[in-house]
């Protein structure tokens, strides 16, 4: 299977107790929780018309990133976030999601300062940025479904003048973004070619998630 796309269904659809039991509008049977404070993930679900609440997880991402291979970090963090919140919401579906940026095997975190953001952009210049986004569904403290996708973003050569001008416009908004860019904004100017799903680049494989929710009777067919 291609390393760009990986899906696993770990258990069957919800049991009969939830079939046809509508509490939320638009076909929702039980509450749905997003275990992330990401504004882009919230915006994706809101734009798709999916009712949900937000409860960010308390997972220590730093420790997991230290002991995992770059290709596994996003998937394991998505699962960990979903499980972290699911443990205290036994009857609810919980969405966990995470994105990881790597360049030449090195994993990059969100920039901690303006100087570090400029350093990251200089390191990205002329190279391929690999962005992996994963999403997981959990309920009752168990992972039910996971999906992972990868996008390759080819960064054009960036001049120091461009980097300075770009950050003067985008900082501090991009301080919350792994990869120091917002693809829906000026960040698109960093690249000369992109391979992969737009939703993956935004931070969550949305279409597979919507399909998984429909299969579990959480969205109407």
Which residues does the annotation mark as catalytic? 98
Residue 8, number of CB atoms within 10 A of its CB? 12
* DSSP letters for 194-213: EES-HHHHHTS-HHHHHHHH
- Residue 164 exposed, middle or buried by CB count within 10 Å (0-12, 13-18, 19+): exposed
Please report, to the nearest 10 degrees, the dihedral formed by the alpha carbons of residues 37, 70, 178, 139 taken in order.
Answer: -10
- Residue 104 exposed, middle or buried by CB count within 10 Å (0-12, 13-18, 19+): exposed
Contact (CB, 8 A) for 140 and 106: no
Dihedral sign, Cα of residue 162, residue 167, residue 168, residue 170:
positive
Residue 210, number of CB atoms within 10 A of its CB? 18
Which DSSP state fits 75? H
- Residue 159 exposed, middle or buried by CB count within 10 Å (0-12, 13-18, 19+): exposed
């Amino acid at each position: 299977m291609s390393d760009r796309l990986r899906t696993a269904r770990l258990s069957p659809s919800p049991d009969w107790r939830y079939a046809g039991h509508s509490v939320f509008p638009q076909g929702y049977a039980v509450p749905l929780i997003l275990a992330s404070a990401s504004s882009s993930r919230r915006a994706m679900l809101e734009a798709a018309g999916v009712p949900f609440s937000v409860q960010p997880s308390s997972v220590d991402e730093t420790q997991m990133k230290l002991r995992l291979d770059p290709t596994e970090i996003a998937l394991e963090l998505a699962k960990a976030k979903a499980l972290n919140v699911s443990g205290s919401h036994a009857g609810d579906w919980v969405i966990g999601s995470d994105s990881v940026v790597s360049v030449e095997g090195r994993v990059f975190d969100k920039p901690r300062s303006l100087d570090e953001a400029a350093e990251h952009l200089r390191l990205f210049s002329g190279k391929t940025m690999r962005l992996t986004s994963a999403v997981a569904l959990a309920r009752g403290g168990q992972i039910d479904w996971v999906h992972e996708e990868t996008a390759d973003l080819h960064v054009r050569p960036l001049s120091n003048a461009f980097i300075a001008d770009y950050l003067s416009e985008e900082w501090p908004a991009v301080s919350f973004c792994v990869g120091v860019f917002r693809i829906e904004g000026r960040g698109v100017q960093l690249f000369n070619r992109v391979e992969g799903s737009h939703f993956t680049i935004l931070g969550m494989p949305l279409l597979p998630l919507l399909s998984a929710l429909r299969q579990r009777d959480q969205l109407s067919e």
